[in-house]
Amino acid sequence: MSYGFPDFISCPDIQGRLEDGFFKGDPQMFPGHINTLRAVTSPINEQGILQNQIDTKNGHYRAVEVVYQPRMTDTGTTSSAELDCTAGSVYGETSKLYNIDPTDGASRKWSFNLDDLAPRCERDENYVARQLAMHMQAIKRFMNNEAVTFIGANFGNFAANAGSTVSGGNLLTTATKNTAVGSVVGTYLDDFMSDVFYQYQLAEGWDRPIIIGGELVHKYMTALRSSCCATINVDLQAMMASDAQSYYFFEPRADSTFGSTEFAFMAPGAVQMIRYNAFKGANGIRVIDDQAIKKGTIVDPETGLEFDYYAELNCNQWKFFLGLAYQYVTMPDDMFFTGDDLDGVNYIFNGKITNP
């Protein structure tokens, strides 16, 4: 009888992967909370309109000038139907320039020695792929935090004559639950969705609002099932096709960033993430093989974001870089003339829950 001693001792039974033993081998375990990033980069929100113009898909980028004309106000409309040959006001177009700084964004770099791979009981490419996924998750968490901060810094006005639930023109106060003493204590109220949807309709919002909120909003949405809630691996296109009143994305940093018990709701497209891949071209490389240098792009399977990727083997050591140039942008802030009911509306709204 003969024994394959090298095979027998090369991978002892006591060495295994944590995720294999407890999490069914899911490589996306513990990705962190990135739902706001998922909201901003989802087909529901961006549909590639602005992004497709900025990124030329061949390693180059360009500035995009968006030309538009604010809508007319009632001023200038008369009650007469008689021809008046005198000249009226001149209504011209204006524009906003969107551009991207290729040095601004997020990135990570790391390295390991080839000798470190020798005792591992897995294929080299599996180890490298897992490291890429984990570093990518860290970058996405960073991007998500920036997105939450950006939204919180860019709340706009509600429509004119918004009613008593809106104070200062830019804060909606609503309720999700009756917390007062009485027979109905603990009852969830319809105020939240009614108030949000009313203000959204008053501002002439399109489709359904994207709601980003923390604990109180999440509990409300779960109890009333009045939204289609985003978690990992949700089919966003299916969400869009549903009959839910809103697109809801849970964000645990909402309270600390927007304010205690505050939330955001916005129109699809109101916040966009423009981005640029410096390493993308006709011969982009997406995998690691036995060559000494790799430079190309790699796609995140969860969000669809494409990252610049660089790997170099130098003196028995692999060095890696993963990054992306990007910028969050809003719609133009002068889409409506002074005196228009929507003056100051940028379709990024702020709400606060104050339960009775």
Q: What is the pLDDT of residues 64-90, one digit of tens each?
A: 777 878 888 888 888 888 888 888 777
**247-250 vs 210-213, strand pairing mode:** parallel
Instruction: Specify the pLDDT at position 24.
Output: 61
**Please, what is the Cα angle at 92 between 87 and 96, to 5 degrees?**
170
Instruction: Specify the pLDDT at position 5.
Output: 35
Query: Tokens 């011209």 map to which residue?
Result: 92
Q: Where are the domains of the chain?
A: 28-73+93-108+126-276+327-356
254: left (phi over 0), alpha (psi -120 to 50) or beta: alpha
User: For the chain (length 356 residues), average pLDDT per consecutive 10?
Assistant: 40 57 62 90 76 64 78 83 83 84 91 83 79 90 97 95 88 90 76 94 93 93 65 50 78 96 95 85 50 80 87 88 92 88 94 94
Amino acid at 296: G
Give the length of the chain: 356
The H or E element containing residue 348 is strand 348-353
pTM, full prediction? 0.83
Whether residue 162 contacts residue 169, with contact meaning beta carbons closer than 8 Å, is answered with yes
H-assigned helices in the chain:
5-10, 18-22, 35-41, 49-54, 124-152, 191-202, 215-224, 236-241, 254-258
Give bridge partners of residue 333 from the DSSP assignment: none
Instruction: Specify the pLDDT at position 233.
Output: 42
Instruction: Specify the pLDDT at position 257.
Output: 97
Q: Within 10 A of 60 (CB to CB), how many other CB atoms are there? A: 12
Residue-wise DSSP of 247-306: EEEE-TTHHHHH-TTEEEEE-TTSEEEEEE-TT-STT---S--SSSEEEEEEE-TTT--E
Whether residue 331 contacts residue 270, with contact meaning beta carbons closer than 8 Å, is answered with yes
Q: Distance from first CA to last CA of the chain, Å, rounded?
A: 81
Whether residue 294 contacts residue 31, with contact meaning beta carbons closer than 8 Å, is answered with no
